[in-house]
Amino acid sequence: MIKIRQENKNDYQEVYNLIKTAFKTAKHSDGNEQDLVVNLRKSNNFIPELSLVAKKDDEIIGYILFTKIKIGEHEELALAPLGVLPKYQKQGVGSMLIKEGHRIAKNLKYHYSVVLGDPKYYSKFGYSLASKYGVKPPFDVPDENFMIAKLNDTEVEIKGIVEYAKEFGV
């Protein structure tokens, strides 16, 4: 049985190793995702409730992090990274992490989450072209890979260039 829970300090080294392993064979990776997480944990953009692990038995098999971003005047979220150990990929672990993250984010009163990734995968969770909302990334990326999900029925309209935490280096 897989359980999703908030990450704690005792998980840090295992999460570091998981992210390094999960991204080793990723098509789009700079190889520094694990260090990004370490740095984001120390930032003002870190939200402990949205740093989640998936555990099976005594092993952490998946991890997801949502951090604060700015879009215009609004504080919203960025999903990055999402990692699952290779032997557990394509078994729904990532889906469980995203759904639980979205549920918590909604309860914390966030309205939107952006992600840079595979549109075939993330569209299953309500992500669509961010450009349709007038939301743009602060870097060059194909339009179909920069997406946004509306987390709740809100009247809040957002537009502008996403301002990531400085730890992202963009």
The answer to whether residue 28 scores a pLDDT higher than 80 is: no
Tens-digit pLDDT profile for residues 50-91: 999 999 999 999 999 999 999 999 999 999 999 999 999 999
Q: Return the DSSP state at 160.
A: E
The answer to whether residue 111 scores a pLDDT higher than 90 is: yes
Query: Which residue bears the tokens 């260039």?
Result: 161
Domains of the chain by range and CATH? 2-168 (3.40.630.30)
For residue 138, what is the enclosing H or E element? none
Tens-digit pLDDT profile for residues 125-149: 999 999 999 999 999 999 999 999 9
Task: Give the model's pLDDT for residue 160.
Answer: 96
Give first-to-last CA distance, the chain, whole Å: 38
The sign of the CA dihedral 114, 115, 116, 117 is: negative
Q: Where are the alpha helices (DSSP H) in the chain?
A: 12-24, 33-41, 93-107, 119-122
- Do 71 and 162 form a contact (C-beta atoms < 8 A)? yes
Task: Give the model's pLDDT for residue 156.
Answer: 80
C-alpha–C-alpha distance, residues 46 and 58, integer Å: 26
Overall pTM > 0.75: yes
